[in-house]
Structure 1
């Protein structure tokens, strides 16, 4: 087995602003496994800084290089990898990069598209929503109209403490009936419950992760106050926490980011937990290239995923992606590729353009 990595710096099509900062360039780490003529790929979803979660590119790469590479030398099944990597605490994003590499490899060995290989009930397509960063309100309104014209099935806007009403009120005035949600990225605290109550009047599908990034207790208390359903994102890092969150009423919706929960195996378990608790699930993203996006769309093509996710086409974030095939959206639907595995490979010329480093891990 040969395992290579590529570090890339890809300019964003436009700045993407959330409550914890603005992204101008995406720093990406891609892995390429080559064994017996089969090439498999995966993407590490961490960023340069530990603002979304505790991992960043440096810490995750350290865990992969010094611990996880040893565990995939014999190309175990993804399920087995989940079992044998449990001795490493946390580091879900690092684990996910290796687990999804194994999923791509084994689905190619089985000659099955990834969406069929991982899903007990493959629907065959993903319902697409869009996530819009914080911007001037006139720009946001224009972007929403453009998104609706393209067929997106759900609009999500980022909000931050003190700016929630100034963002949501004009949107609802202009678009009173659209499926709308808001993402706070943990910008509020337990002291802000009264402020958050103002959000109820905007008829949101859900309010995503308003409180602390690792909390479910205060979210359960907030859920009893708000009529707006709570969606948890950063807090859901494992199937066990997802089960607990539903049990105490901390959420009615979960945003499943495969990289955040350790990979596709746990993503499936969390989707089943949401369904068993009469909740809802959708697939989120971390501004991935076409490599990481392929895994998200495969997971979003399950019948267990009943809400539109942040699964837009490649052109949404990058003027030029690093893959050889681009996803297309028609009427708010994106279909995964029917080729074995994720169905895409690296475009070498684009890789050369954005590459800042490459190396071999095994």
Structure 2
């Protein structure tokens, strides 16, 4: 693989001595509403992998407490990590983080569980080699442009006020969640108030091809894209919709792998792809998708899953790859949390994040905050 070739001089065995799974519960500053429902309490796992030198690599699970985004949940992540994935790691030698996805291949799907462990091993690998995670992935950018995702608001007035706050803060793109009954008219109102702001709509699979004529009205609004308008597992109907719309379609939930990506592009199902590390099973697969899209001339950007600081740091590192041509969802920590679990927190200045230059994810773990938000913990010795 590309990364193994590029960093072949660094490939040595990664001696894992311990894995720690911490279950956290953090409360979002504001409820976050999509077409699926509303959430404010965020339950997830922080994975920690310890080596023989005392280096600690960190990852983060992104599944939700209910299976409304995908079939995975917080509890299924625990089951799969504890009973299947960690035993695989205990029984095998790892020379490079790319090995992890291959070792996990016999376990079907459960991509977010796989990603949570693989991400921690990538961070550990970078720290062992005294390099940033961004550099370990092949990234070169020193700063990244970021946008913000805004959930469905109680009123249009509140939506406009929220957009204005984020535009004033310098965010490079505004993503607005939509659903039937909260879509075209709302976006028209938004566009009338913000005629030049880069705006996209995210439907989270809320529509069908029966809504084609309704969705075509979006072509008049000069949107950057509409994200995942149709079924979460579809690439066929999206091709029909894209052929009948000028607005670029971006696929999210439909893309779980390099193969999904290849087929969607071949069918003409989209013009843009949102790469989420957890959704595709980890950083190794995310890079494969990035590399292929770059060769095919397909724009990609890094989506968010309401991550805390560790997951946010992984997103930053991935976005340093050259093919990420559009602002992602990695807004600052303070947009979501009163207190994050990293130090310093992720900070956005005028819509830009400066990529940290410390080894690994580049942020320190706030041990006090991590302890405060931990509700359960399991340790696995090697």
- Name the TM-score, length of structure 2 as normaliser: 0.92
* DSSP-derived class of the 1:273 partner: helix
| 1:206-285 aligned within 5 A | 206-285=225-304
CA contact (8 A) 1:107 1:117 kept: yes
Q: Does 1:122 pair with 2:140? A: yes
* 161-170 vs 105-114, greater mean Cα deviation: 161-170
Residue pairs, 1:65-80, within 5 angstroms: 65-73=82-90, 74-80=93-99
Deviations 1:119-157 (A, max 9, x none): 2x5212221001000002111111111111111100110
Q: For residues 163-182 of structure 1, what are the structure 2 equivalents within 5 Å?
A: 163-182=182-201
- 1:1-362 map, 5 Å: 1-36=17-52, 37-73=54-90, 74-119=93-138, 121-135=139-153, 136-362=155-381
* 1:160-198 deviation line (CA, Å, top 9, x unaligned): 012212320110110111101000000111221122112
| SS of corresponding position for 1:72 | helix
Work out whether residues 291 and 345 of structure 1, in 8 Å CA contact, stay in contact via their aligned partners in 2.
no
3-state secondary structure, aligned to 1:157: strand
Structure 1 unaligned runs (5+)?
none
Measure, in 2, the Cα distance between the counterparts of 1:325 and 1:75.
31
Q: Deviations over 1:236-281 (max 9, x none)?
A: 1001110111111000000000110011111111112221121100
Q: Distance between the aligned counterparts of 2:95 and 2:306, measured in 1?
A: 28
Gaps of 5+ in 2: 1-16
Instruction: Confirm or deny: 8 A CA contact 1:76 1:102 kept in the other structure.
Output: no
User: How many Å separate the matches in 1 of 2:176 and 2:77?
Assistant: 29
For the 8 Å contact 1:272–1:304, the answer to whether it is kept is yes
**In the aligned structure 2, how far is the partner of 1:42 from the partner of 1:281?**
22
CA distance in 2, matches of 1:230, 1:280: 11
CA distance in 2, matches of 1:31, 1:265: 17
**TM-score, reference length from structure 1:** 0.97
Aligned residues: CA RMSD: 1.2
Quote the offset at 1:282 in angstroms: 0.2
The worse-fitting range, judged by mean Cα deviation, of 195-204 and 284-293 is 195-204
